[in-house]
Amino acid sequence: MEGRKRILGWGVLALWVIVIALAAPLAGKLGDVQRDRAVDYLPASADSTQVAKITEQLPGGDSTDLVLVYHREGGLTSEDRATAAREVGQVAAEHPLTSAPQAVPSEDGTTLLYAVSSTGPGTDEAARDAFVHDVRETVSGEVGGPGALATDASEVYESLDGPLLYTTVAVVAVLLILIYRSPFLWLVPLAVAGVADYLSMAVTYALHQGFDISVSGQSTGVMTILVFGAGTDYALLLVSRYREELRRTPHPYDAMTAALRGCGPAVLASSGTVALGMLCLLAADMNSSRGMGPTAAVGVLCALVAMTTLLPALLVVLGRRVFWPLIPAYGSEPKAARRSLFAAMGSSAGRRPLAVLLTGAAALAALALGTLNLPGALKQEDSFSSTPEAVAAMKTLAAAYPQTGTQPITVVAPTAASSGVLETARSTQGVAKAERGRSGDGWTEISVTAAHPPQSPAETATIRELRSALGDGVYVGGPSAEQLDMTDTNARDRGIVVPLVIVVVLLVLIVLLRSLVAPLILVAAVVAVWGASLGIGGLAFESLFGFEGTDPGLALLSFVFLVALGVDYGIFLMHHRMREECLDGAEPGAAALTALRTTGGVIASAGLVLAATFAVLVNMPMVQLAGLGFVIAVGVLLDTFLVRTYLVTSASVLLGRKVWWPGPLADRAPARAGSGAGRAPARV
């Protein structure tokens, strides 16, 4: 019989080989559909998005706009100016430009600016990058502007794939070796997580082909983090329960069946909650946020499938020896351990629950005050933690032309009304000049130069004034308008997505826990963690990391991730153990302490792994990713070691059976006999 059961394990492995073979062609194509153009991150309904789409359809297609910057600190020489003219002429001879570049000298004589625009690359990112690189090889000055910035950003995102994956794998491997204390066991969940990541790439590509979801470097990077972080968490819970069952059951197959029966519902519920929370991002107007929702949900669900099918099959086939040298023999007792850290934490929360609850809540509130110190909105040139050439060029321009616009504001208007629009634009306050551009397909492009530096408050006021003066049917875009639209739209998205996430998560928890009070406690706790984590970011971003600003989407994305992932651990604690203890007859206070003592080690290990995987993003050269990774990593640690251990436990002790109100556990002890006190503690 045991041999037949082992064959089932081999059958599952064979099925996974087939799945991987089918997924391979799709997974390999994901990089081909990954896009990091401005339109892939912009709000779907914004003016700047409409400008980007319309200009793609004009004669020549989308334009690649560059700024060539020649600078000498002591002042440009006549030889410098001759060199600049010769090199710019060579660029014009070798590439189809929309107009002849004209030199714009700075007042102090240190800098020459040439605006270069070409429709040759169109919307082809590879052609755009080739054009930018060719220009950089031709000229001796710095090459900046929106096109060069897009190329530098694209190269950064492309460079993330390898280092992000390798670093994540290395971090998870080290933590698993320390947790399992086995030379072999850590390889199994790590390999399964790798398979899940590969599967998620294939599924994401299929979703892109079928439903045209946006796939960006940011979303695929976060998906990889989630697969390894959440997948390893599920593996820790399953392996812990499996090891426990191996001491009670003679055969690995039966032990695994019992383990899946015991922790499977909690894993399924938690992963489903996380996925639903991520899918709430579909309500966002920001293309980048909306695209991240499905890819993040795919990552979590692929991790769930792999960890509940492939991982059990591998463990059953490998048998007890995979745990060597700490093999859990049938009938053995776990090694007696000293009083655990979590037992001590639970005891302190049980002795003074009100004091612990108030102190913890006050600490979170104090940390949340740090949000008042968050830097302002992130400018394009501050998006990199390093300084690529495009950013260096923009900084040179900002210093040499302190009161002048150095990048265009693009206006597109119906051709029939373009003359009136041009005159209105020229007379708008804050506009230095406006020139008619290309026309086609019923639209005309007008290039507007502001009288103020890019992304300054004065230029922002000019963009708003243009939109007000030009009215409906005329769209104002360009790099600065794009940043403005992203800031405005993220504020709108927060007002829609945040309440939606709270409602969805609350409903799921109410169904799972059969209570109103317990879900409210969990959601309130994770919202408090989110505020405290952003506050810590406000204290650290500028002083510790040197960030000049924060991504407008940081608050929304960090909220969705921290609420979904925080509730994930709440389900492990309250549904997987605490509710079981209460069903066995324990009082909620005692059940909370027992749940913390028995699952605290597993949850702490899972929290450390998840925090470490998101912390990998902090080392990435994009401020958006680094900020998001820092806030989520800090939030997971706060949730693991403060909220779950102290606040939720102390609130449960204080409320007693009211924590399960209005469910049946709130009124009376259940009829089931027995007590949870005799249940063996879960061990990592």
Question: What HEC string does 13-46 produce?
Answer: HHHHHHHHHHHHHHHCCHHHHCCCCHHHCCECCC
Look at phi and psi of residue 417 and say left if phi exceeds 0, alpha if psi is from -120 to 50, else beta.
alpha
Residues contacting 347, CB < 8 A, separation 6+: 593
Same-domain check for residues 444 and 400: yes
Give the separation between CA 372 and CA 493, rounded to whole angstroms: 21
Give the separation between CA 188 and CA 192, rounded to whole angstroms: 6
pLDDT-based confidence at 308, cuts 50/70/90? very high
- Are the C-beta atoms of 617 and 629 separated by less than 8 Å? yes
Same-domain check for residues 23 and 119: no
3 state SS of 96: coil
Q: Does residue 163 lie in a domain region?
A: no
Q: Most confidently modeled of 160-164, 384-388, 494-498?
A: 494-498
Give the separation between CA 257 and CA 211, rounded to whole angstroms: 37
Q: What is the total count of domains within the chain?
A: 4
Same-domain check for residues 382 and 512: yes
Domain end point (choices 468, 484, 500): 484
Q: Does residue 668 lie in a domain region?
A: yes
Give the separation between CA 120 and CA 67, rounded to whole angstroms: 16
- Are the C-beta atoms of 483 and 53 separated by less than 8 Å? no
Domain end point (choices 484, 501, 533): 484
pLDDT-based confidence at 678, cuts 50/70/90? very low
Same-domain check for residues 372 and 242: no
| CATH number for 402 | 3.30.70
pLDDT value at position 154? 80
Same-domain check for residues 281 and 355: no
User: Which range among 104-108, 260-264, 589-593, 620-624 shows the weakest confidence by mean pLDDT?
Assistant: 589-593
Write out the two tokens for 164.
């992000």
Same-domain check for residues 681 and 618: yes
Could you tell me the residue range of the domain that residue 51 belongs to?
39-153
Residue range 409-449, pLDDT digits in tens: 999 999 999 999 999 999 999 999 899 988 998 999 999 98
Residue range 56-70, pLDDT digits in tens: 888 877 888 899 999
Same-domain check for residues 256 and 140: no
Same-domain check for residues 479 and 496: no
- Are the C-beta atoms of 584 and 676 separated by less than 8 Å? yes
Q: Does residue 682 lie in a domain region?
A: yes
Same-domain check for residues 677 and 558: yes
pLDDT value at position 394? 86
Is the N-terminal amide bond of 662 cis, ω within 30° of 0?
yes
| CATH number for 71 | 3.30.70.260
| CATH number for 513 | 1.20.1640.10
pLDDT value at position 341? 65
Q: State the DSSP string of 182-238.
A: -TTTTHHHHHHHHHHHHHHHHHHHHHHHHH-----HHHHHHHHHHHHHHHHHHHHHH
User: For residue 530, what are the CA distances in angstroms to 255, 279, 369, 434, 574?
Assistant: 38, 19, 12, 45, 20
pLDDT value at position 2? 58
State the pairing for strand pair 475-477/443-450.
unpaired
Residue range 648-669, pLDDT digits in tens: 888 888 888 888 888 887 775 5
Same-domain check for residues 278 and 197: yes
**Helix and strand numbers, DSSP H then E, in the chain:** 23, 8
Q: Does residue 177 lie in a domain region?
A: no
Give the separation between CA 668 and CA 610, rounded to whole angstroms: 38
**Which stretches of 282-342 are assigned E, i.e. beta strand?**
none
State the pairing for strand pair 111-118/103-105.
antiparallel
Strand order in the sheet with 443-450: 431-440, 443-450, 409-414, 475-477
pLDDT > 90? residue 369: yes
**Mean pLDDT value across residues 270-274:** 91
Q: Does residue 354 lie in a domain region?
A: yes
Calculate ∠ Cα 587-590-593, nearest 5°: 145
Look at phi and psi of residue 436 and say left if phi exceeds 0, alpha if psi is from -120 to 50, else beta.
beta
pLDDT-based confidence at 71, cuts 50/70/90? very high
Residue range 513-568, pLDDT digits in tens: 888 998 999 999 999 999 999 999 999 999 999 888 898 889 999 999 999 888 87
pLDDT-based confidence at 3, cuts 50/70/90? low
β-pair partners for 431: 450
- Are the C-beta atoms of 32 and 158 separated by less than 8 Å? no
Residue type for position 339: R
Write out the two tokens for 665.
């556990």
Neighbours of 361 (CB within 10 A): 16
pLDDT value at position 372? 93
| Cα 1 from chain centroid (whole Å) | 47
Q: State the DSSP string of 467-514.
A: HHHH-TT-EEESHHHHHHHHHHHHHHHHHHHHHHHHHHHHHHHHHHHT
Residue with the larger pLDDT of the pair 588 and 178 = 178
Domain end point (choices 332, 362, 377): 332
Give the separation between CA 14 and CA 3, rounded to whole angstroms: 17
Write out the two tokens for 127.
């052609």
Same-domain check for residues 298 and 349: no
Residue range 11-28, pLDDT digits in tens: 899 999 999 999 999 998
Residue with tokens 């002849």: 100
Residue with the larger pLDDT of the pair 540 and 334 = 540
Q: What share of the chain in percent tops pLDDT 90?
A: 49
pLDDT value at position 368? 96
Dihedral sign of CA atoms 669, 670, 672, 674 in order? negative
pLDDT > 80? residue 677: no
Q: What are phi and psi of 215, to 5 degrees?
A: -120, 115
Residues contacting 110, CB < 8 A, separation 6+: 71, 72, 73, 74, 75, 76, 400
pLDDT value at position 420? 95
Strand order in the sheet with 142-144: 103-105, 111-118, 64-71, 142-144
Look at phi and psi of residue 75 and say left if phi exceeds 0, alpha if psi is from -120 to 50, else beta.
left
Look at phi and psi of residue 413 and say left if phi exceeds 0, alpha if psi is from -120 to 50, else beta.
beta
Helix, strand, coil percentages, rounded to 5, for the chain? 70, 10, 25
Query: What mean pLDDT, rounded, does the chain reach?
Result: 87
Q: Does residue 166 lie in a domain region?
A: no
pLDDT > 80? residue 599: no
**Mean pLDDT value across residues 178-205:** 93
Q: Does residue 158 lie in a domain region?
A: no
Calculate ∠ Cα 568-569-573, nearest 5°: 125
**Mean pLDDT value across residues 334-338:** 56
Q: What is the dihedral of CA 148, 474, 435, 114, to 10 degrees?
A: -10
pLDDT > 90? residue 6: no
pLDDT value at position 340? 62
pLDDT-based confidence at 583, cuts 50/70/90? confident
**Mean pLDDT value across residues 617-641:** 91
Same-domain check for residues 587 and 512: yes
**Mean pLDDT value across residues 329-349:** 68
- Are the C-beta atoms of 635 and 364 separated by less than 8 Å? no
Q: Does residue 537 lie in a domain region?
A: yes
- Are the C-beta atoms of 549 and 380 separated by less than 8 Å? no
